[in-house]
Structures are given as structure tokens and as C-alpha cells.
Amino acid sequence: MSVIKVQHISKHFGSLKAVDDLSFEVQAGQVFGFLGQNGSGKSTTIRMLLSLIHPTSGSIEIFGKPIEKNRETILEQVGAIIERPDLYPYLSAQEHLQLFAKVRKQRIATTNIKETLEKVGLANRANDKVQTFSLGMKQRLGIAIALVHNPSLIILDEPTNGLDPQGIADIRQLIQHLAKEEGKTVLVSSHLLSEIEQVAHQILIIHQGKKMVEGVTKELLDPQKRIVQIKTTDDANALQLIAVGSFSNYLLPRKEGIFLKIPTYEIPLLNETLVKAGVALLGIETKNSLEDYFLQITSNA
Amino acid sequence: MWSIINVELYKIFRRPRTYIAFGAIAALIIVIQLGLKIDGNTYAAFLMKDINDTLTVDGKVLNGYLICYILLQLLLVHVPLLVALIAADMISGEANLGTLRLLFTTPFSRTHWVLAKFIAASVYTILLLIWLAFLALFVSMWVFGTDDLFLMKSNYVVLIQQNDVLWRYVGAFVFASFSLLTVTSLGFLMSSLSNNSIGPIVGTMSAIVFFTILSTLNIPLFNLVKPYLFTTHMNNWKEFFDIQVNANNEAIHGSILNIPKIKNSLWVLTFHIILFVSASIIIIKKKDILS
């Protein structure tokens, strides 16, 4: 079942196309990774999902209902943080949660508020004013606000911004817990790709507002589809040999270095071809992280 | 809806800035009351100097009712600035802080949020006025005592018996609440147009100054638009203190000279409040929240 269904949405700010004909679906119980460099259109898309921005064209359905006509019903079941954790500096963490619990139509018990603060590691700072919080603590509180009403869809825009390594690991664990243990659907955006590849079932990469690739994370990390970088004694000659030979289909255009998207079993043959031509292979580096995949796609866009 | 009004009121009264206005009004009133308590007789003699030769006034001229009238004349010009400090910050302040997007992702429509914010700002305005009334009227009555209210207008004097005064102040404060709510709604409109706090506050005050000048200048072109400007009507609370006289030129107890003028002013002010708030709702509904 699709929790989010986005069809051909675009958003133009004057002549700037912030989002350009973007379509995707997020299934129930899934952690959906939404990747892109800064300024790629992730936050604009998320704001459109939350009806903060009106799309220029296209349609958005959440829980099977169009957002523009069912905004209030839909948002009752959605928790979100958008970009920076902007909060009221004169209120405490607990007051924030009490305040946002009040604006939900269902009654939220005080115990829920305490549990939510514990979940994000802020229980010991519950009564401190937000003006004394670090960026990471504000980010945790922002996540707590998104979770306090126990939503079934959680949208987290760059949730690890400002967090230290332990904080990042905690958030990763929290996202996994929300999806696996509590059955929530989570859409998480980031430009820190290493974060997403560890938690997301499905990823979507956008660049300059356009969808570049969408797929199941495991499939994108399939060894048979991995990218290798080869280093030789004569890169220019090697590149020429590959470009005109039977390996030309595997060659990936990159500004620097020789990158190939080549099946593992073909690598010995490539090595043999290069050696025969007098080019010694110094090393083969397998680029098996999503980050390389992401960088390759966005650098060619 | 009630829950989000509560939230907005909670936020207003948790901000230190809110209490600046209450403190400023208290400080101004206390200073003026203190000055008049110490040297009020000199001030009263100065006021009466032109009519001393033709009129003898018995009793306590400088009583609590007159002090309140003097204070209202002085302060109802300045209170709009204090109202604008909060009202013009209600939307733009949150846009600037980045919290507007938090509010607008809750299951309440933007119309609900704008109305809740306006109602909360109106409650603040009314409380400010009640605070002003308490200090200016009741504290003055307590400190200076009560007697008949003797007012000197531009070319006549008005003498209102003391048992005929208090209800006029109630009317004047109710009228003043409409004037200040017009400022609140104007501040609100300015607030919906901006993403920072300073612009709308300055904009609101500039608009009031601009329209007040138009309302004051006696130029035929301006006279055409004057009846429709809210600034022309804001000070008409004074009409409650003009009374009708009988054939013997005696004041008619419980009367008001020009009730239609008060009614007309209330209509014009109400129209402006509805206009400004409706415009704010339309602007906010169409706005992309980018902050």
C-alpha cells in the first residue's frame, strides 16, 4: 500500500525549476531515503508533501487522499521536521512537547511526553529552555515534536544535521526502531549518503529538481552492478584502449580517473587486455558505497 | 480552535517582550500621576487661567476623573506603538524564527492559525487596555478622589456630574478597544506580508502616522477621503464626554451629544478590522512557507 504517492510534481520559483516533474511512491512500513545534494530540491519536495508550498503542477496523495483537499486529516497522522530545528527559545523542551501535543486532536498523555523525551535522549534536560540547547539537542527536540503524537508517517528532513557521531548513530537506530518495531513509514532526506544506505529500504536520488535514480537499496548495492576504479601505469593509454575495445560499454564518463561499471567476472579479462597492450594495472578499487553511486550520478547530470 | 488560541496566548505571555508594554504604561501613568499629585494645583491653575475671570469653579477640579481624561488623551496616541510591538510580530516573528512551518504542519488550517493568532493578539490588546483603565481611572480615583468632571474643549467647557461620569469611561474604553483592535489588525496585515519583525512594526506605525496626517490636514482633496480613514475615527472616544444641553443650557444627565458619530466611527473601525484580517488570511493562505 502506498502511503505517499507523488505524481509529476513541479515547483517553479520564477524561472527557477526547484522541482521538475518528480514522481515516486513510498510504501507502508518502509524507510524511504530521499537523497540529493544541497539545493537539489529535497526540502522543496518535502514542503510540498506537507502543504507548506503549493506545487506549480502535479498531484500528491498521502494515505490515498489528495493533500490539498484532506490536509487536516492527513497531517493528524504525520510528524515532520523540516531542515533546521527552529524552536521557541523562551520555552523548555517539555513545554514544546506540551504545546505541540495540544495542537493535536487526540489527547496526548503526560507519560507520552516523558517517553518521547527519553526516546530522543533529552529527559534530563526537559525543563531547560531551548536557548541553552546546542544545535544537536535542538535537532533531537525537533524529532521529539515530530513523534509526540505517535504518527504513522514520519518525514525527517536532514535529521542528523548538527549531531555528533554518537547522535547520528542514535538517530539511525531510532529510525530503524520506528520502522521495524513500531511499523511506521519513514521518509528521511539527507545529503549524507552513508546515513541513508544503512537505514533505507528504498532510495530516490534527485539532482537539480529531477529524479536521477530510484530503487531498492540492496539492488543498488548489488556487487554485480558495482563500480570499479582502476589505476594503471598509463591512464591515458588505458582509457583509450577501453574506449575503443569491448569494455567501452562499461566505461563511466568521469572528469578524473577511470571508472567502469563492470561485472566482477570480466575484471581478469580487462587486466589481461591492458597488460597485453603494455599497461600495467596498479590497483582496482571497488566503489561499493551508495555515496560513490550518488556522486557518479550527480556529477554526470 | 480553542486549543490553538490557548497555544498562542501561552506563547504571547511567556515572552518577556509582552510585559514591556505593561511596564511602559505603568511607568508613564505613575510618573504623570506623581507629577500631578505634587504640583497638580499649578497645572490646574494654568488650565483655568483663561476662564478664571468669567467663571468660578467650586470643588476639586483636579480629581481622578480629570486625571484619567488627561492620561487617555496622552496615552491613546502612544499605545498603538505598544500594540504594534506584539501584533505586527505575530506572523512575521514566527516566520523569522522558522517556527511558522511547525505550526502549519499541524492538523489545523492556515485560516484557523491566523484567526487564533489574531484572537490572541486581541486578548493581549484588551488586557493592555484594561491595565491602562485600571491605572488611569481606578488608581487616579483612589489617589485624587472624585468630583464632577470639568473639561475645557476648544471653544466651550463641559461639566459632567460625578455620578454621570463612570459609565462614560466604560463607553470610552469599549470604543478605544475598537480603535486599538484596528491597530492590531493593521499590524497583523503587515505581519502577513513580511518574514521579519522590524518591518511590520515600523510599517504599522508609519501607516498610522501617514493616515493621521491625512486625517488632520484640512485640504479639500484629503477631506474627501477622511471619513473613510480609520485614523479619523480612532480618537472619537472623546464623544462620550460631550453632553446634550436643554433650552436653559443645562447639561442633560446621561446624554451624549452625538451618538450617530460614535456609531459611524464604530462601523468604520469594524469594517477596517474585518478588511485587514480577511486580507491577512488570503495572503497567508496563498503564501509559500519558505522560511
The parent domain of residue A270 ranges over 223-300
Q: Which of the residues B102, B111, B195 would you substitute to probe the A interface, choosing the one with the greatest number of A C-beta atoms within 10 Å?
A: B102
pLDDT confidence of residue B268: 95
The answer to whether the Cβ–Cβ distance between B101 and A145 falls below 8 Å is: no
Q: Tell whether A191 and A295 lie within a shared domain.
A: no
Q: Residue A32 corresponds to which cell in the numbers above?
A: 524511504
pLDDT above 90 (res B178): yes
What's the mean pLDDT in B113-124?
93
CB nearest to B108's CB, from A50, A53, A72 = A72
Given a contact cutoff of 8 angstroms between Cβ atoms, the answer to whether B157 and B51 are in contact is yes
Asked if the model's pLDDT at residue A296 lies above 70, the reply is no
Is residue A242 located within the same domain as residue A99? no
User: Looking at the complex, does the CB of residue A103 fall below 8 Å from at least one CB of chain B?
Assistant: yes
Is there a contact between B107 and A82 if contact means CB atoms under 8 Å apart? no
> Which pLDDT band holds residue A105 (cuts at 50, 70, 90)?
low
Number of domains present in the structure of chain A? 2
Residues A233 and A212 in one domain: no
Q: What is the mean pLDDT of residues A286-296?
A: 63
Predicted confidence band of residue A57 (pLDDT cuts 50, 70, 90): very high
End-to-end, the C-alpha distance of chain B in Å comes to 24
Q: Do residues A87 and A41 share a domain?
A: yes
Contact A102 B101 (CB under 8 A): no
The reply to whether residue B103 touches residue A103, judged by beta carbons under 8 angstroms, is yes
Residue A225's pLDDT band, with cuts at 50, 70 and 90, is low
The reply to whether B111 touches chain A by the CB within 8 Å rule is no
Nearest CA of chain B to the CA of A177: how many Å? 24
pLDDT band at B23 (very low <50, low <70, confident <90, very high): very high
Query: Mean pLDDT highest for which of A239-248, A252-261, A277-286, B253-262?
Result: B253-262
Q: What is the mean pLDDT of chain B?
A: 88
Q: Pick from A219, A248, A279: which residue ends a domain?
A: A219
Q: What mean pLDDT comes out for the span A243-266?
A: 80
> Using the beta-carbon criterion (under 8 Å), do A102 and B6 form an inter-chain contact?
yes
Strands A210-216 and A78-81, by their bridges, are unpaired
Q: How far apart are CA B93 and CA B117, in angstroms?
A: 12
pLDDT of residue B54 exceeding 90, the answer is: no
pTM above 0.90, yes or no: no
A248 pLDDT tier (thresholds 50, 70, 90): confident
Mean pLDDT of B109-133: 93
Least confident of A264-268, A276-280, B17-21, B197-201: A264-268
Give the pLDDT score at A15.
Answer: 85
Same domain, A296 and A277: yes
Query: Among A52, A72, A88, whose Cβ lies nearest the Cβ of B107?
Result: A72
Cell digits of residue A226 = 558495482
Flag if A72 and B14 touch (Cβ within 8 Å).
no
pLDDT of residue A2: 87
- Provide, as residue numbers in chain A, all residues whose Cβ is less than 8 Å from the Cβ of B288: 47, 52-54
CATH of residue A245 = 3.30.70
- C-alpha–C-alpha distance, residues B277 and B285, integer Å: 12
- If asked whether residues A46 and A105 sit together in one domain, one would say yes
The domain spanning residue A67 has which CATH number?
Answer: 3.40.50.300
The pLDDT tens digits for A163-210 are: 788 878 888 888 888 888 888 899 999 887 777 888 888 888 888 888
pLDDT at res. A106: 67
What is the model's pLDDT at position A290? 59
Question: Is residue A219 over pLDDT 80?
Answer: no
Nearest CB to A102: which of B3, B16, B102? B3
In the predicted model, is pLDDT for residue A294 greater than 70? Answer: no
Q: Which ipTM was obtained for this model?
A: 0.77
Looking at the complex, does the CB of residue B3 fall below 8 Å from at least one CB of chain A? yes
Asked if A259 and A130 sit in the same domain, the reply is no
Question: Cβ of A75 under 8 Å from any chain B Cβ?
Answer: yes
| Residue B106 and residue A104 in contact, taking contact as beta carbons nearer than 8 Å | yes
pLDDT at A160: 82
The share of chain A scoring above pLDDT 70, in percent, equals 92
Which residues of chain B are within 8 Å of residue A76 when distances are taken between CB atoms? 107
Last residue of a domain, one of A183, A198, A219: A219
A215 and A227 together in one domain: no
Phi-psi map region of B147: left, alpha, beta (phi>0 left; psi -120 to 50 alpha): beta
pLDDT, residue A177, reads: 85
> Is the predicted pLDDT of residue A17 greater than 90, yes or no?
no
A90 vs B290: CB contact, 8 Å cut-off? Answer: no
**Chain A within 8 Å of B11 (Cβ-Cβ)?**
yes
Q: CB atoms < 10 A from the CB of A109, how many?
A: 9
- Helix, strand or coil for residue B236? helix
Q: Which residue of A has its CA nearest to B94?
A: A88
Measured in residues, chain A has a length of 301
For A109-150, the pLDDT digits (tens) are 777 888 888 888 888 888 899 899 888 888 889 888 888 888
Q: What is the pLDDT of residue A222?
A: 67
A22 and A144 together in one domain: yes
Q: Residue A289 pLDDT > 60, yes or no?
A: no
Domain ranges of chain B: 2-286
Nearest Cα neighbor of B74 from B138, B24, B5 is: B24
> Are A88 and B11 a contacting pair at CB < 8 A?
yes
Q: Which residues of A touch B106 (CB under 8 A)?
A: 75, 100, 103-104
**Which pLDDT band holds residue A265 (cuts at 50, 70, 90)?**
confident
Residues of A in contact with B7 (CB under 8 A): 99, 102-103
Question: Can you spell out the DSSP letters for B102-167?
Answer: HHTTSSS-HHHHHHHHHHHHHHHHHHHHHHHHIIIIIIHHHHH----EEEE-SS-EEEE-GGGTHH
Grid cell in block for residue A34: 530521499
State whether A203 and A285 are in the same domain.
Answer: no
The most distant pair of C-alpha atoms in chain B lies apart, rounded to whole Å, by: 71
Q: What is the pLDDT of residue B102?
A: 87
Task: Determine the residue of chain A that is closest to B104 in CA distance.
Answer: A52
Which of A9, A103, A104 has the most B C-beta neighbours within 10 Å, making it the best mutation to test the interface with B?
A103
List own/partner pairs for A161-169 with CB under 8 A and 24 or more apart: A161/A83, A161/A84, A161/A85, A161/A135, A162/A85, A162/A134, A162/A135, A162/A136, A162/A138, A163/A136, A163/A139, A164/A136, A167/A136, A167/A139, A167/A140, A168/A195
- Does B144 score more than 70 pLDDT? yes
* Residues A247 and A207 occupy one common structural domain: no
Of B68-82, B112-126, B129-143, B169-183, the one with minimum mean pLDDT is B68-82
Which residue from B15, B16, B108 is facing A103, i.e. has the nearest CB? B108
Domain end call among A203, A219, A235 = A219
With the C-alpha atoms ordered B22, B25, B31, B33, is the resulting torsion angle positive or negative? Answer: negative
